[in-house]
Every structure is written in structure tokens, then in C-alpha cells.
Amino acid sequence: PQVIDDNGKQLTVGGLERIASVAGKIRNRVDGALLLSSGDDLIPPLFSIFHGDPEMRAMSLAGYDIVAPGNHEFDLGAKTYKDALSFATFPLVSANLIVDDQKLQDRILTYVIKNIGEIKVGVFGMMNPDFLEVCSPGDGTTVDQNIMSVAQKAVDSLLKEKCDLIIALTHIGIELDRQL
């Protein structure tokens, strides 16, 4: 859909339907592509009402390949996020998220490797080090604050796996992204 911003400029906006459409067009034109998200896909007010069910189903239908959770996925607690993931068909990555809940821990991987044509792509995720200050995950969920060392360990593992390309799918903020 088209909307007009405060300056009278016409903008094209859209949600998951538009993302799925663009991703499909790109995938039809190239030999390989990845649809990724760096998080905050579950945000109020809909998350508060539907607990992530429609978003996870829609992201799965849209063809997301890999998703890194953002801090807002934990706004209603780790259990609510874990329950929402039952509707997701894509893998999740976060190398520095520490979760006590075994089922949630099993869903959130340090990294994922995808073969895109002849290219072996490794994708690892990173969560905001201010995690506990910006959301309410409840007990048993935190992050490793050692962003650089955790990221280096993930990169080293992916290099050991002989990845041709490594993607850091981060939710750590632009300043830490630059340092990383």
C-alpha cells in the first residue's frame, strides 16, 4: 500500500505479505537467496493479544530461512516466546543467549549452515547485551556479555566447518555492530 509521510512524500509500506512477495521475486531471479530477520518480529500490541501465533505462522509461510530473536520476543517472558515458536518452521540463532529452559534452548542454535548453490553460508546470531534492561524474560534467561569473544568463537566454529561466507545476524545495536 501507499501512504503519505509528514512531508507529503509517497511511501510504499507493507508487512509480511510484501516481504514474502519481494523475497519470492528475488528467489525467482537468482540462483540462491536467504530471507533473514534480526529480531523484534513480535512486538506489542499484537504480541500481547495473540502471543506470536500469527507472526510465526506468517513468517514461516513467507519463507524465512533463519531468524535471530530480538529482545521484544521476550517481552511476555521466555515461556510465551517458546510457545510462539511452536508455529515457526525456521531455525533460530543466537550465540550469546543463555536459556535454562531445555526446549527453548534446543530451538535457539548458536549458528546454522546453509548451502546456497555452491556457497556454504554460516549464519550466527547475537542478542543485545542490555537484554535484561530492555525486556522481561523472567528467570533463567540472560545473555553472555562478552560479545566479541562469543562472536569470535562462532566465527571460528564456522571457519572450521569451511564456510565460504559468514553472516552475523545481530540484535546488538549499531555501535556494537561496527565494533564486531
Q: What is the mean pLDDT of residues 169-176?
A: 96
Percent share of the chain, pLDDT over 70: 98
Query: Model's pTM, two decimal places?
Result: 0.90
pLDDT above 90 for 14 = no
pLDDT of residue 157: 98
CA distance 26 to 95: 29
Q: Which residues contact 96 (CB under 8 A, 6 or more apart)?
A: 126, 127, 129, 143, 144, 145, 146, 147, 150, 151
Beta strands in 36-110 (DSSP E): 36-37, 66-67, 92-93, 97-99, 108-109
pLDDT of residue 6: 84
44 pLDDT band, cuts 50/70/90, is confident
pLDDT tens string 22-36: 999 999 999 899 999
pLDDT tens string 124-136: 999 999 999 999 8
pLDDT tens string 133-149: 999 899 999 999 999 99
Average pLDDT value over all residues in the chain: 94
